[in-house]
Amino acid sequence: MGMVEGKIALVTGAGAGIGRATALKFAQEGAKVMVSDVDTKGGEETVEMILNDGGEAAFMKADVSSAGEVAALVDKVVQTFGRLDCACNNAGIEGKVIPMADQPEANYDAVMGVNAKGTFLCLQAEIKQMQKNGGGAIVNLASVAGLIGFPGLSPYVASKHAVNGMTKNAALEYGKEGIRVNSICPGGIDTRMLDSLAEQASGGAQSTQEMMDPLHPIGRIGRPEEVAELIVWLCSPRASFITGANVPIDGGYVAQ
């Protein structure tokens, strides 16, 4: 029996990277999965991968920075599968690598809109639905940038610190209702986002691996599948006494 056998899971930003790996892992561990992303092609590809592997999944396009679209997404989960047990709020953007004093206001608004406001809106809608079910488990995607600073990434750092703060608050407010809320803080993971950050930071002078591998004490960047393992475990009954945690999964990065 899988870790989340018979559960219903929602994963945002599931068209690629960590989100896709998480949706696949939920399905492999016995959950039915609602896949969401602003990228319809990527999201539908994720669903196809789950179906081809014998799982059950559906797709809905949604912009997490829109309260209306988030509410419609959670409603769609319930209409399709009957309830909501697990949620992974993964949708996020990196923004531009620019020193703080020169950061465009539009970049700040965009990053905070998806990463912070988007997580807030998803939490609201998911918690309200889980209250009807009598409980559930949520994992928010923060970052090591939610634990420490990164020069040039002030909006991203601010947004991920916000995610970690909201995680603690939600855990305190809804723990007695059987709703667990945790966040994870990945280090460098082999995704398009990391490629974008490495490209911006080095101006294309170094590959992602050349730039990022040496920064991690374990000697390499991580794989999306490694992050997915933690997310699904945190949503499972095996993590029943864990809530309000901001869990690093970073190859030792923040231990330095």
Q: Please write the tens of the pLDDT for every residue from 32-54.
A: 999 999 999 999 999 999 999 99
Looking at residue 238, its pLDDT comes to: 98
The verdict on domain 8-188+224-255 having CATH code 3.40.50.720 is yes
Percent of the chain clearing pLDDT 90 (strictly above): 90
| Angle of CA points 215, 220, 226, to nearest 5° | 120
1-13: b or e for each residue (b if 16 or more CB lie within 10 Å)? Answer: eebbeebbbbbbb
- Tell the residue number behind the tokens 């990945």, with chain if given: 186
**From the candidates 108, 156, 174, 253, which is the catalytic residue?**
156
The amino acid present at 31, given as its one-letter code, is A
Looking at residue 206, its pLDDT comes to: 83
Residues of the chain with pLDDT under 70: none
Q: What is the DSSP pairing of strand 86-89 with strand 57-61?
A: unpaired
Tokens of 229: 């393992």
Task: Answer yes or no: are the C-beta atoms of 84 and 126 closer than 8 Å.
Answer: yes
Task: Answer yes or no: are the C-beta atoms of 245 and 146 closer than 8 Å.
Answer: no
Looking at residue 55, its pLDDT comes to: 98
Q: With 0-12 CB in 10 A as exposed, 13-18 as middle and 19+ as buried, what is 143?
A: buried
Looking at residue 208, its pLDDT comes to: 84
Task: Answer yes or no: are the C-beta atoms of 86 and 9 closer than 8 Å.
Answer: yes
The amino acid present at 138, given as its one-letter code, is I
Catalytic annotation present for 156 = yes
Looking at residue 207, its pLDDT comes to: 87
The structural domains of the chain, with segments of one domain joined by +, span: 8-188+224-255
pTM score, whole prediction: 0.97
Looking at residue 209, its pLDDT comes to: 85
Looking at residue 202, its pLDDT comes to: 75
Looking at residue 205, its pLDDT comes to: 76
The amino acid present at 29, given as its one-letter code, is E
| Cβ count near 250 (within 10 Å) | 25
